[in-house]
Amino acid sequence: MKVNLSKLTTEQVNENTKSIDQLSTIDMITLMNEEDENVIAAVRAVLPEIASAIDVIHQAFKRNGRLFYVGAGTSGRLGILDAAECPPTFYTPPEMVQGLIAGGNEAMFIAVEGAEDDTEGGKSDLIEKELTDRDVVVGIAASGRTPYVIGALQYANGIGAATIALSCNSKAKISQYANHVIEVVVGPEVLTGSTRLKAATAQKLVLNMFTTVAMIKLGKAYENLMVDLHPSNGKLVERAKNMLMAITDKTYEEAEAALIETNLKVKPAIVMLEAGVSYKEAVLAIQESDGFVRQAITIARKE
């Protein structure tokens, strides 16, 4: 099948970088850096659309829905990366945010040729995950035309799941198949068609916003601290202790003792130290506050 890519911004020649192969190393990376500056402006231009999508994701999480990222190649890998970071950062179950890539998990490391052209593949992968109308599906495609992503969005729409299209071209084809559309137009790439560059950077910035803000809105941050992190190694345990000391003005030893008592759970440790209550009382206050530490401290103090 003949595919016309000439009208896609991500496939056009960048006139600013046509002589890049003749430049010194410092001039090459200076040019790349200048091009990357366009990414921030492009993302800023669609912040209202990003905010609307985040509100949809947040509401899905509140009703125990899941977030699925669906993409091929670099786009798929970025989705998997963002999903994989959620459990250690926000202590979420691994099924809450998931990334699907055309060609399956092996495509994360080795390109699976032709997988992105499989429209049925996107559908079947979501069927395997038992997608429901409580879930959200984000189709990610720099070109905005990937058949695998289109198939996933079509299926998601058919069962009533919320759908979001994230692309780097205006009037992208995948935008036709989503309830919420985000088109971050970053312009032609430094190397023609290499969407692992500016387009991928833009996608990563947007995905960062999706999960970070949705999780904050679920109460997984106190001030700008990750109070729901999973202290799974020595560095993270020390980070948890430092957070407790910063929030409560307690000593290192007091923070350490609270973490031991709560089995390394930061939220109840904060409430215990701030409100002067037991672990059991702290847990109950957190439950009553729907997971928000500020409210939990107030509740625990009143009780």
Catalytically annotated residues: 85, 116
Within 10 angstroms of residue 280's Cβ, the number of other Cβ atoms is 10
CA distances from 87 to 78, 93, 173, 208, 294 (A): 16, 6, 32, 14, 22
Within 10 angstroms of residue 5's Cβ, the number of other Cβ atoms is 11
Cβ–Cβ < 8 Å for 215, 85: no
Give the single-character DSSP code of 65: -
Rounded to whole angstroms, the Cα distance separating 284 from 217 reads 20
The string of DSSP codes covering 195-255 is TTTHHHHHHHHHHHHHHHHHHHHTT--BTTB-TT----SHHHHHHHHHHHHHHH---HHHH
Identity of residue 225: L
- Residue 3 is inside which H or E element, if any? none
- Residue 5 is inside which H or E element, if any? none
Rounded to whole angstroms, the Cα distance separating 40 from 89 reads 24
- b or e along 108-122 (b: 16 or more beta carbons within 10 Å of the residue's beta carbon)? eeeebeebbebbebb
Rounded to whole angstroms, the Cα distance separating 108 from 5 reads 25
